[in-house]
Amino acid sequence: MDFYVAGSYDVVVIGLGHAGVEAALASARLGAKTLAMCIQLESIALMACNPAIGGTAKGHLVREVDALGGEMGKAADATCSQFRMLHTGKGPAVHSLRGQADKKEYQSYMRSVLEKEENLDLLQAEARDILMRDGKLYAVTTTTGALYETKSVIVATGVYLKARTITGELVKESGPSGLFPASHLSASLIELGIPLMRFKTGTPPRLDARSIDFSKTVVQDGDVPPVPFSFMTDEIDVEQIPCHLTNTNERTHQILRDNMHRSPLYSGIIEGTGTRYCPSIEDKVVKFPARDRHPIFLEPEVRGGLEIYVQGMSSSMPEQVQFDALHTIEGLENCRIMRTAYAIEYDCIRAEILDHTLCCKDIKGLYFAGQVNGTSGYEEAAAQGLIAGINAALALQGKEPLILDRADAYIGVLIDDLVTKQTPEPYRMMTSRAEYRLFLRQDNADMRLTRKGHAVGLASDERLARLEEKERQLAIALEALARHRLRSNELPQQMIDRGLNRDTSYLASERVTRGFSYEEVRAVCPELPEIIPSAREQAEIHLRYDGYISRQMSQIEQFRRLEEMALPADFDYNALDSLRLEARQKLSAIRPLSLGQASRISGVSPADIQVLMIALKQRRMRLQAQGTKVDPMTGVEHAE
CATH top class, domain 206-343: mainly beta
Q: pLDDT for 77-94, tens place per residue?
A: 999 999 999 999 999 999
- 243-247 sheet: strands from edge to edge: 218-220, 243-247, 295-300, 307-311, 206-208, 337-339
User: How sure is the predictor about 630, in pLDDT bands with cuts at 50, 70 and 90?
Assistant: low
Question: In terms of Cα–Cα distance, which of 153, 146, 143, 158 is closest to 192?
Answer: 153
Provide CB contacts within 8 A for 626, sequence distance 6+: none
- Does the structure show a pLDDT above 70 at 49? yes
Tens digit of each residue's pLDDT (9 = 90 or more) over 482-533: 999 887 777 777 788 787 787 777 889 998 998 889 999 999 899 999 999 9
pLDDT in tens, 182-241: 999 999 999 999 999 999 999 999 999 999 999 999 999 999 999 999 999 999 999 999
Residue-wise pLDDT tens digits, 541-586: 999 999 999 999 999 998 998 888 889 888 899 988 889 999 999 8
From the number of C-beta atoms within 10 Å of its C-beta (0-12, 13-18, 19+), residue 17 rates as buried
Q: What's residue 255's pLDDT?
A: 97
Could you tell me the sign of the dihedral formed by the alpha carbons of 324, 330, 335, 340, in that order?
negative
Contact 188, 180 (CB under 8 A): no
How many other C-beta atoms can be found within 10 angstroms of the C-beta atom of residue 634? 11
Q: Cα-flanking dihedrals φ and ψ of residue 124, to 5°? A: -90, 110
The CATH number of 564-639, from 1.10.3720.10, 1.10.10.10, 3.30.460.20, 1.10.150.570, is 1.10.150.570
- What's the CA gap between 480 and 100, in Å, rounded? 39
Domain ranges in the chain are 4-200+346-455, 206-343, 477-555, 564-639
- Condensed to tens digits (0 to 9), the pLDDT of residues 320-337 reads 999 999 999 999 999 999
- In the prediction, which pLDDT does 638 show? 45
Instruction: Write down the pLDDT at residue 501.
Output: 80
| DSSP output for 371-398 | GGGTB-SHHHHHHHHHHHHHHHHHHHTT
Give yes or no for residue 632 having a pLDDT over 90: no
State the average pLDDT over residues 176-183.
95
pLDDT of residue 497: 77
Q: How far apart are CA 163 and CA 177, in angstroms?
A: 11
Give the pLDDT band of residue 268 (cuts 50, 70, 90). Answer: confident
Residue ranges in 545-630 assigned as alpha helix (H): 546-563, 581-590, 595-599, 606-625
Instruction: Report how far residue 595's alpha carbon sits from residue 617's, in angstroms, rounded to the nearest whole number.
Output: 12
Percent pLDDT > 90 in the chain is: 81
Q: What is the mean pLDDT of residues 581-607?
A: 90
Decide if pLDDT at 448 tops 90. Answer: yes
- Structural contact between residues 186 and 162, judged by C-beta atoms closer than 8 angstroms: yes
pLDDT given for residue 564 in this prediction: 87
By DSSP bridging, strand 120-124 and strand 307-311 are unpaired
Instruction: Report d(CA 15, CA 37) in Å as an integer.
Output: 6
CATH superfamily, with its number, for domain 4-200+346-455? FAD/NAD(P)-binding domain (3.50.50.60)
Is-above-0.75 flag for pTM?
A: yes
d(CA 509, CA 281): 50
Q: What is the pLDDT of residue 86?
A: 96
Is the domain defined by 477-555 classed in CATH 2.40.50.180?
no
CA end-to-end distance (rounded Å), the chain: 57
Looking at the predicted structure, is the pLDDT value of residue 640 above 80? Answer: no
For residue range 338-352, list pLDDT tens digits in order.
999 999 999 999 999
